[in-house]
């Protein structure tokens, strides 16, 4: 045992007069040197950088882990739940108990789904529904899936993003009896294999689709077109997926009714705006530890996602520029205090580029070549098409994986840019998102499924529809008690004056909010 003494003297700056010793501290030190030398120095299959970065991801459990527990693909494993179910493919079924805790935490922040489960559980409005889903498999999605099951549905699920699956949550879902095919870090081939396993079961045919991005719908059109004869409807929640549905409708190739959840008020004005506002900084901090104060950032797109991102970045002192093609959104950006520029005008000076347009090749090789050393590039849109990654996979550029979801791309002259999540959705790939906001979207999805599944024949044709306004208002009302919010009730005279029912809907369909 070793004793170390430290003496601290404080002196007055004015006359250099010694005051007194204020701290004599005795510290007992064990011989840590010997203990340190006993520790193994080998890191096994992990690189040093990945081992170090793992500690920074432990705080969000299985969300962004880069575990190297083994190198065996989940496709090559034989796994069973405690009840003998083997119709699933995930990373590790042993994580189910931890995943269940994650789901229980999310339930506390998803009041509307809990209310819906309680109110409608006895009625089973989805009895007979066989829902095949392709979304982000997170704790929040698990709450939605288990709500659908409580309402009478059978579910099979795959992931819409190769980086966003929470492995422990997938394990908990499988253990509870849901056939899940997803794990974090899938290859492109794994991604489509999981979707195919999800929909291609011989003994199980879906009659409802819940999609996020349109990949599931696309795969069924491509490989199982006859399946649409049994389908009652599609519920889609992303810009990318909705765009695909409208294309099918325009070409008269949409075989079933589809509900556009993305453009419902409760998705657009809450999930797209507030979710991104609260999660973009989290994703950037966890991957890069960047300081935002004084940084110059360009945000491509000023829709609801862009508005949320800009507000968050500006609040922490970043200097934010906006690119836009829509004059209305551009004017909104100007009046919110942002400079609207072309990307080419500012690309040489910015420290960070964030895309959220829903378009393709918004950031091209010509922009990437002009970026300064250390520029961070990331995407907040659903698809990884916004950054032209194909142009970066060339022999003269070197890719270095430095930590989970972080790659340095190095030019011949030594310049490097920092690419996050390989251009995929930043917040869900690199961090977590607020459960409460996702409760709003998930409740909207559940109601859309109930509406399409129970609609009488002829109510919906082979087209794309928005959720009825009354349902949007109902979803919002379910979340108000959390804030102890009390709505004002219209008098009969006031309702008559406005020409509406005193019970809603309170706004016409063309109202913009």
The reply, when asked if residue 324 is annotated as ligand binding, is yes
Sheet holding 208-211: strands in order across? 179-181, 154-159, 130-135, 208-211, 233-236, 258-260, 464-466
Cα(228)–Cα(450) distance, integer angstroms: 18
Which helix H or strand E contains 118, and what residues bound it? helix 111-120
The reply, when asked if residue 427 is annotated as ligand binding, is yes
Q: Are 488 and 477 in contact (CB under 8 A)?
A: no
The reply, when asked if residue 457 is annotated as ligand binding, is no
Cα(442)–Cα(429) distance, integer angstroms: 19
The reply, when asked if residue 304 is annotated as ligand binding, is yes
* Nearest residue to 406 via CA among 391, 393, 416: 416
The reply, when asked if residue 306 is annotated as ligand binding, is yes
Angle, CA 83 vertex, CA 81 and CA 89 arms, to 5°? 30
Give residue 316's region: left, alpha or beta (phi > 0; psi -120 to 50).
alpha
The reply, when asked if residue 237 is annotated as ligand binding, is yes
The reply, when asked if residue 308 is annotated as ligand binding, is yes
The reply, when asked if residue 121 is annotated as ligand binding, is no
CA 117 → CA 124, 284, 397, 511, distances in Å? 9, 35, 52, 30
Neighbours of 33 (CB within 10 A): 9
The reply, when asked if residue 307 is annotated as ligand binding, is yes
Cα(354)–Cα(335) distance, integer angstroms: 20
CA 258 → CA 235, 254, 267, 452, distances in Å? 6, 8, 16, 8
Which helix H or strand E contains 466, and what residues bound it? strand 464-466
Cα(103)–Cα(139) distance, integer angstroms: 5
The reply, when asked if residue 138 is annotated as ligand binding, is yes
Query: If you count them, how many residues does the chain have?
Result: 513
The DSSP call for residue 310 is H
Q: What is the DSSP string of 345-358?
A: HHTTT-SEEEE-SS
The DSSP call for residue 425 is B
Neighbours of 497 (CB within 10 A): 10
The reply, when asked if residue 507 is annotated as ligand binding, is no
| Binding site as annotated, residues for NAD(+) | 303-308, 324, 427
| Binding site as annotated, residues | 138, 212, 237, 267, 271, 303-308, 324, 427
| Binding site as annotated, residues for substrate | 138, 212, 237, 267, 271
């Amino acid at each position: 045992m070793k004793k170390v003494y430290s003496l601290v003297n404080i002196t007055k700056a004015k006359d250099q007069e010694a005051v007194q010793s204020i701290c004599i501290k005795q510290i007992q030190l064990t011989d840590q040197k010997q203990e340190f030398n006993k520790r193994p120095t080998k890191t096994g299959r992990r690189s040093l950088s990945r081992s170090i970065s793992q500690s920074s991801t432990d705080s969000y459990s299985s969300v962004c882990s880069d575990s190297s527990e083994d190198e065996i693909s989940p496709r090559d494993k034989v796994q069973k739940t405690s009840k003998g179910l083997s119709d699933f493919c995930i990373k590790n079924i042993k994580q189910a108990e931890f995943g269940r805790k994650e789901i229980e935490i999310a339930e506390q922040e998803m009041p509307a789904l809990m209310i819906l489960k309680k109110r409608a559980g006895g009625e089973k409005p989805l009895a007979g529904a066989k829902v095949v889903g392709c979304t982000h498999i997170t704790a929040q999605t698990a709450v939605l899936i288990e709500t659908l099951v409580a309402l009478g549905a059978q579910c099979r699920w795959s992931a819409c993003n190769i980086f966003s699956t929470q492995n422990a949550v997938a394990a908990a879902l499988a253990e509870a009896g849901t056939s899940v095919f997803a794990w974090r870090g899938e290859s492109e081939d794994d991604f489509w294999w999981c979707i195919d396993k999800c929909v291609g079961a011989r003994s199980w045919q879906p009659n409802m689709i819940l999609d996020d991005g349109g990949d599931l719908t696309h795969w069924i059109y491509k490989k199982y077109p006859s399946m649409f004869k049994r389908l009652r409807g599609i519920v889609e929640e992303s810009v990318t997926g909705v765009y695909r549905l409208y294309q099918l409708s325009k070409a008269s190739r949409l075989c079933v009714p589809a509900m556009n959840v993305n453009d419902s008020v409760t998705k657009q004005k809450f999930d797209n705006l507030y979710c991104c506002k609260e999660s973009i900084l989290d994703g950037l901090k966890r991957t890069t530890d960047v300081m935002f104060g004084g940084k110059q950032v360009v945000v491509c797109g000023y829709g609801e996602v862009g508005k949320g991102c800009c507000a968050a970045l500006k609040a922490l002192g970043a200097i934010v520029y906006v690119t836009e093609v829509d004059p209305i959104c551009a004017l909104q950006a100007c009046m919110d205090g942002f400079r609207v520029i072309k990307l080419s005008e500012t690309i040489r000076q910015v420290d960070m580029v964030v895309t959220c347009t829903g378009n393709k090749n918004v950031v091209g090789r010509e922009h990437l070549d002009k970026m300064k050393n250390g520029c961070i590039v990331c995407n907040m849109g659903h698809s990884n098409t916004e950054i032209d990654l194909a142009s970066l996979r060339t022999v003269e550029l070197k890719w270095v994986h430095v930590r989970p979801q972080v790659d340095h791309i190095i030019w011949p002259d030594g310049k490097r840019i920092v690419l996050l999540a390989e251009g995929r959705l930043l917040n869900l790939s690199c961090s977590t998102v607020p459960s409460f906001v996702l409760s709003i979207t998930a409740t909207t999805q559940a109601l859309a499924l109930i509406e399409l599944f129970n609609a009488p024949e002829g109510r919906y044709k082979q087209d794309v529809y928005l959720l009825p306004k009354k349902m949007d208002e109902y979803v919002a009302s379910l979340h108000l008690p959390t804030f102890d919010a009390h709505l004002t009730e219209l008098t009969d005279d006031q309702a008559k004056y406005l020409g509406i029912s005193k019970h809603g809907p309170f706004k016409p369909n063309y109202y913009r909010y």
